[in-house]
Amino acid sequence: MSDERRDRGRSRDDGGAGRKGSDGRRADGGSVQRPADRSRHTDATRLAAYTVMRAVSDGAYANLELPKQLREKGIRGRDAAFATELVYGATRMRGLYDPVIALASGRGVEAIDANVLDTLRLGVHQLLGMRVPVHAAVDETVALARQVNGIGASGFVNAVMRRVSERDRDAWLTHVVPEGLEPTAARAIRTSHPEWIVRALRAALLGHGAATADTVDAELDALLAADNAPARVTLVARPGLSSIDELLEAGGERGRLARTAVVLDEGDPGAIRAVREGRAAVQDEGSQLVALAVAAAEVEREDGSGSEEWLDLCAGPGGKAGLLAGLALLRGAGLVANEVSDHRAELVRHTLAPAIADGGDGQITVRVGDGREIGADEPDSYDRVLIDAPCTGLGALRRRPEARWRRQPADVVALASLQRELLASGIDATRPGGVIAYATCSPHLNETRFVVLDVVKERDDVEVVDARSLFARPDGSPVSDLGDGPFVQLWPHRHGTDAMFFALLRKR
């Protein structure tokens, strides 16, 4: 439902209320109606967005919870896009919106009931981050508050929304980011990232060779801005199961980087037959490049005969395994997709079902096991091993809006220990002459370069291979701006992908 349709029938003369001057102030400083005169119920789209926000606050993931709510409420098309922007935008930008709410309400956000705070975040995003008319943003947010927070709370929400509507985004920035504030703190509020993440991303840009001391601030600002921009929906045509042409006919356009990628500018991916049948899927183009690089790396086999055996050591939830499975079918290779969690292994099994059906005779296998033990249990068994290691996900903040608020610096330490163990196990499981790919969806130096270098320096049976030549565009030309080598680092602001890290090792 468009905002014009939402406001249809409200043919009042508001005396200029809802219009803004050049300084962003409301003509009358107020909203159109008193709380008591407004609707007691908001529209289904905003209610769905609020429901998802509350689920996320309780630990759910927006990318899983939102589609479920949209299906249950029958919300499609532009209304679904509106709900998606509400949830993702309000969640991403809470680092900016919460200080605004605190100033407008005269109290810290920790003193505001969590349910009411989510209502206000949705409302403030409509005022400061979307093109929703002011009167619609205020009226519908108050109506939502009446419906889900109660009449008493709706008066508080009305007062805060009226106060927020008195200034535009730039004017509020001057209040919540005062002159003289320490640069990292100012950048954190302005771009709505925790300070520790701002510092980590700055160090990553320098450490991966993507910036110098002279350029790092500009690069960092571009990266943080890219984190706050909605990611385009990218599909993967799984080789042997689907084709680029099939997805192009469904309304997509070719991806810029991966030969298996198609970008969908609008529409529901689930409406595409190949996606419904699991022959294609939604997958970031950077993630596709990683899987393609694993399959493209040169393997040196002693006997030079027989089919290759591949291992995805940490396969859940199955995106890269799905692409590897299609490539394995075409090459006559075997693939074992391992996952430590029963639940996640079931997700992998569902993802790989079309490939398993096509492969037969156990060519594609999903199993449950601790990846740290495979090297000891199956030494020198695989030609290609992918360790898509559990990580903080700092490279996918565009797609996972809640991640920046859930992760803490201590997570990096705990994950880095696990990452080293998984990489060591993957090396042990690889045959001499085989290759080991280590990947993370994080550019954090303690999850990427330092992990690989620490493991390699303790071993004499493995060498680092320059991986940059494995990242090629559909026409065969090299993907640019990958770093100085031998590692590869992708960036949202340079490549339009998640910030994937990739390292390639060869077993001596």
Residues tagged active-site? 441
Answer yes or no: are the C-beta atoms of 413 and 420 closer than 8 Å: no
CA dist., res. 95 & res. 340, Å (int)? 34
Residue 156 structure tokens: 């508080």
- What whole-number distance in Å separates Cα of residue 398 and Cα of residue 64? 15
What CA–CA distance (Å, rounded) separates 99 from 10?
32
Please tell me whether residue 445 adopts helix, strand or coil conformation: helix
Strands 253-254 and 233-237: unpaired
Cα of first residue to Cα of last residue in the chain, in angstroms, is 61
List Cβ neighbours of 304 (8 Å cut-off, separation of 6 or more).
Answer: none
Query: Residue 427 in contact with residue 456, Cβ under 8 Å?
Result: no
Q: At what angle do helices 94-105 and 151-164 cross, to 10 degrees?
A: 100
Chain-centroid distance of CA 146 in Å reads 33
In angstroms, the Cα distances linking 275 to 207, 235, 283, 437 are 38, 9, 11, 27
Residue 73's contacts (CB-CB under 8 Å, 6 or more residues apart) are 44, 47, 48
Strands (E), 238-307: 253-254, 261-264, 280-282
Task: Tell me the pairing of strands 334-339 and 253-254.
Answer: unpaired
- At CA 40, angle to CA 37 and CA 46, rounded to 5? 120
Find where tokens 């060591």 sit.
424
DSSP annotation of 472: B
